[in-house]
């Protein structure tokens, strides 16, 4: 009985487990307990790792990687906006939303990968600064949530069946959440530079 419940609602149960995990981490003070132990890693990233050494030694390389990071963000944001605005019925009204959801996905994944790889380099170069920034952790949390939401929640549902069979309000909710969370990731990222 339990086994069949789990196999039938695996995804939902994983969402509930993730939520429970976050609540427990906060309630038991695990975040405060783990946080100090992360500092050596961030210091090592900046001072000893290859990424940190290159990033802090060659300003021109660092700035160029930042530019690639921005370009990846632009492509990622472009595919997210094109798809989600279609789901909201704002643009591409004459193209089936299924086509956009599947057509932009590969490009989105490449842009996300590029953004993460260049982002690791950028963070390594200022490792001991970002460690103390709240907005950096907000961005990391939002990025993790956004990636999981996109890869394991939104895309699987939207490719599982024709969109006419999905409640239109569910689709709108997914699209608005997707736009807002990727905006948060980008805006928090830009704010790291100002902090």
Partner 1 sequence: MNENGKLDDKTIAAVSSAAIILGALIYYWIGEGQSTVELLELAYGSLKFFNNPLVF
Partner 2 sequence: MINELLLQFAQWMEAQEYSQMLVAGYYSYSWLEATHVLTLMVSIGSLFIIDLRMLGLIMPDVSASTIAARLHKPMIIGFAIMFATGALLVYAKPVETIQSLWFRIKMFLLLLAFINALIFNARLKAADGSWDMDPVAPKAIRIGAMISLTLWCGVVTLGRYIPYDWVDCTNTNNTTILWAAGCVEQLNAL
* Binding segment toward partner 2, per CB under 8 A, in 22-30, 74-82, 133-141, 144-152: 74-82
4 binds partner 1 (CB under 8 A): no
In the three-class reduction of DSSP (H, G, I as helix; E, B as strand; rest coil), residue 69 is classed as helix
167 binds partner 2 (CB under 8 A): no
Q: 10 Å Cβ neighbour count for 97?
A: 22
- The correct pick among 4, 37, 60, 167 for binding partner 1 (CB under 8 A) is 167
Give me the least distance between CB of 95 and partner 2, in Å please: 6
149 versus 191: smaller Cβ distance to partner 2: 191
Tokens of 47: 């001072």
Q: Alpha helix locations (H) across the chain?
A: 2-8, 10-27, 30-47, 50-57, 59-87, 97-103, 105-125, 127-130, 134-148, 155-160, 168-194
What angle in degrees, to the nearest 10, is found between the helix axes of 59-87 and 105-125? Answer: 150
* Binding segment toward partner 2, per CB under 8 A, in 3-11, 31-39, 70-78, 144-152: 70-78
Tokens of 130: 């970002």
If binding means CB under 8 A, how many residues of this protein chain bind partner 2? 35
Each residue 170-189 as x (binds partner 1 by CB under 8 A) or -, in order, gives x--xx-xx--xx--x-----
**What residues between 9 and 28 interact with partner 1 by CB under 8 A?**
9-12, 14-16, 19
**What residues between 95 and 154 interact with partner 1 by CB under 8 A?**
138, 142, 145, 149, 153-154
């Amino acid at each position: 009985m339990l086994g069949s419940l789990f196999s039938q609602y695996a995804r939902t149960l994983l969402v509930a487990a993730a939520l429970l995990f976050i609540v427990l981490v906060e309630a038991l003070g695990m975040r405060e307990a783990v946080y100090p132990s992360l500092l050596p890693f961030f210091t090592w990233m900046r001072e000893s790792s290859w990424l940190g050494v290159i990033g802090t030694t060659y300003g021109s390389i660092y700035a160029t990687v930042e530019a690639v990071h921005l370009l990846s963000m632009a492509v990622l944001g472009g595919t997210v906006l094109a798809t989600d605005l279609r789901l909201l019925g704002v643009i591409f009204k004459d193209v089936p939303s299924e086509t956009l959801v599947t057509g932009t996905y590969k490009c989105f994944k490449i842009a996300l990968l590029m953004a993460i790889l260049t982002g690791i380099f950028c963070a390594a170069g200022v490792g001991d600064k970002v460690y103390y920034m709240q907005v950096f952790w907000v961005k990391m949390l939002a990025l993790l949530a956004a990636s999981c939401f996109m890869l394991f929640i939104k895309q699987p549902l939207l490719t599982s069946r024709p969109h006419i069979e999905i409640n239109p309000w569910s689709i709108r909710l997914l699209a608005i959440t997707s736009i807002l969370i990727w905006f948060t990731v980008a805006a928090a990222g830009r704010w790291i530079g100002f902090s």
